[in-house]
Chains A and B, each alone.
Chain A
Amino acid sequence: MESTPAGEAVEVSREALTFARSLAAEGGGVPVDAVLVGEPSAELAATLAAYGVRRVHALTGEAFASYAGAAWAAGVQDARETSVVVMAAGTPRGNEVMAHVAAREGVAMAANVLSFSGLSPFVVTRQVVGGAALEEMRLADRPAVFTVAGHAVEAAPADVPGSAEVVVRAPAVAEADLVARVVSSEEPEPDLSGTLKSARVVVGAGRGAGSAEGFAELVELTELLGGSLGVSRVVTSLGWRPHHEQVGQTGSRISPELYIPCGISGAIQHWAGCSTAKSILAINTDPEAPMVTKATYAVIGDLHEVVPAINAEIRRRHR
């Protein structure tokens, strides 16, 4: 269970709780417990109750003061007691801690699961090849360890709320599990991918931008829309824009209200990073480009003609 610095449950964790509840129902109505580091705020406890959580295991103590994947996994193991399924959201932290748990338990782990199909044997379907293919995978009966892909399910509160009884735990953690821990953390620079991930509008650009200098009108459109600029891998490989602006399988995964990919053909790796955008407006010279056929809206044309015209029209109407 992950929460924001303000103590609110992050959406992917609420999705994971929703997934857990459907799994628990399939298993005959077994209870769902949550593990988190630190004690929950009143707001977070209320959210956990609303999502049907029976018990909240709050990991406290010096061992959990800063992030250490192995220590957090030890805490999860301590809290899981007799639970037969251990799962987390498919975030970097979620994947890492679950991989530690699986290695310690000596069982398989499935990353980025979308659904399950049967409990005995326990078979899950997960994303591979950046979401371009799916894998059906068999997991151990106890514990089954996996992470849930973002937007695999829609987050929804339970019909019957849970009690979210808080159990404070301070398990002993072996020294070896604390060797690799975060020793310092600095605020991200304001233009890092955090902005990209949370932007309502993202203007995307690919090889069609033509050069590092070819971004002026794209940056202007981004500013006019109050959004963020996201680029394809080829753009960062060519050194036209910095890597933190990259959208895709090995860059940021974005879910804006509107994504405007300009001059991006829509390679699988890029699609992996933008497929959860609510709407996509593709601007491309090729009407058959995958990004165009998968988009909600499209303009067929050269971005260097289309984007300045859009910018001029916005300025005309919203001067």
Chain B
Amino acid sequence: MKVLVCVKRVVDSSSEVVLTDDAQAVDGRYAGFTMSAHEECAVELAVQVAAATGGSATVLTLGDADAVEQLRAALAVGCTEAVHVLADSSTYGPADVAREIAAVAGDFDLVLLGNDAADSGDFQVGIRLAYELGRPVVNGVTNVSVADGIVTASGAGTDGHETYRVPLPAVVTVLEGGVEPRYPTVPGRMKAKKVPIEERSPVASPVGPSRVRLLLPPPAPSNVQVLGKGADAAPAVVDLFEQLGVLSR
């Protein structure tokens, strides 16, 4: 069966977040770029499902020319084909992105996405895609398997570990945690460089992301009270535990 997995080039926000001068985006010039953690797991699941069903895993992104880096990263860990919708993703809202994915996804049995992107945190592209395609959607799962035309997906829900079984074709969004994304091997990286990438133009003009502007929260003043250094601080720490009433005995 044919699996499509969608990834997004996002700023690596593990260090300080800096905004662009027009306050419309996070500036990644110094921080570097990556794909979201949930998407790394979606890629891993796509590769696993493709292998288990004797099918293929195709990676898709919408972004500028630099986003090819994230496509190559997915190819290096087992995706075999890649589609690049060349566009300035900052001008796309969740509904625009869903429409562009839908234009590609019609041929695929299963579409996997991250539950939400690390930068925009929208929680909705997968759901909007499902409505575009008229397919069922399961959200926020950590396990996905396919047999006999049924996708079984499960993850931690409000009432415990919840399982869904939906017929293909379907859309599933993935949360980090159920699988360990594999590291690319050197041969994997070499192979990924040679895979031809299908470039496409957007099918529609974007409406936009409804963004007025980004801003940074004011830095909280540091009011830290240092209790001491090294092992000598232990009595002061236990005094604190007693004062806060958190010692269980």
Contacts and interface: CB of A to CB of B under 8 A. Distances in A.
Interface of A: 2, 5, 67, 69-70, 91-93, 95-96, 99-100, 102-104, 108-112, 123, 125, 127-139, 147, 176, 179-188, 192-193, 200-201, 224-227, 233, 239, 243-244, 246, 249-251, 257-258, 267-269, 279, 281-282, 287, 292-302, 305-306, 308-310, 312-314, 317-318
B249 A193 contact: no
A96 B127 contact: yes
- Among B162, B210, B229, B244, residue most surrounded by chain A Cβ atoms (within 10 Å): B210
Interface stretch (B50-58, B104-112, B132-140): B132-140
12 contacts: A67-B159, A69-B127, A103-B127, A133-B216, A134-B216, A138-B210, A180-B136, A182-B163, A251-B177, A268-B13, A310-B234, A318-B247
A183 B229 contact: no
B230 A305 contact: yes
Contact of A301 (B37, B134, B158, B230): B230
Contacts of A182: 157, 159, 162-164
Contacts of A183: 163-165
B211 interface: yes
Nearest to A189: B161
B14 interface: yes
A67 B141 CA distance: 14
A109 B118 CA distance: 17
A187 B247 CA distance: 29
Contacts of B158: 2, 67, 91-93
Interface stretch (B81-89, B193-201, B218-226): B218-226
The secondary-structure label for the interface of chain A is mixed
B162 to A, nearest CB: 5
Given A128-B120, A268-B17, A313-B234, A186 B177 contact: no
Contacts of B237: 281, 299, 306, 310, 313
Interface string B131-171: 10010111110000000000000001111111111110010
A25 B244 CA distance: 38
B26 A133 contact: yes
Contacts of A132: 13, 17, 216-217
B100 interface: no
A188 B160 contact: yes
Given A103-B131, A129-B17, A185 B229 contact: no
B44 interface: no
Contact of B156 (A136, A188, A317, A318): A188
A269 B14 contact: yes
A301 B131 CA distance: 54
Contacts of B134: 176
Interface string B183-215: 000000000000000000000000001111111
B209 to A, nearest CB: 8
Q: How large is the interface on B (under 10, 10 to 19, 20 to 34, 35 or more residues)?
A: 35 or more
Nearest to B18: A133
B138 to A, nearest CB: 5
Contacts of A134: 214-217
Nearest to B232: A309
A258 B167 contact: no
A186 B161 contact: yes
Contacts of A137: 209-212
B164 A180 contact: yes
B73 interface: no
Contacts of B103: none
B17 A112 contact: no
B127 A100 contact: yes
B128 interface: yes
- Among B130, B235, B237, B240, residue most surrounded by chain A Cβ atoms (within 10 Å): B237
A103 B238 contact: no
Nearest to A138: B210
A137 B209 CA distance: 8
Nearest to A304: B231
Nearest to A243: B177
A129 B212 CA distance: 16
A114 B225 CA distance: 29
A147 B121 CA distance: 12
B118 A69 contact: no
Contacts of B235: 313
Contact of A299 (B124, B164, B215, B228): B228
B72 interface: no
Question: Which 5 interchain pairs have the tightest Cβ spacing?
Answer: A226-B248, A309-B231, A99-B124, A309-B234, A301-B230
Contacts of A125: 215
A133 B224 contact: no
Contact of A298 (B215, B225, B242): B225
Contact of B246 (A201, A297, A310): A201
A310 B153 CA distance: 44
Contacts of A176: 134, 136
Given A133-B215, A180-B136, A317 B238 contact: yes
- Among B122, B163, B227, B235, residue most surrounded by chain A Cβ atoms (within 10 Å): B122
Contacts of A246: 177
Given A129-B26, A183-B163, A305-B231, A69 B19 contact: no
A133 B225 CA distance: 27
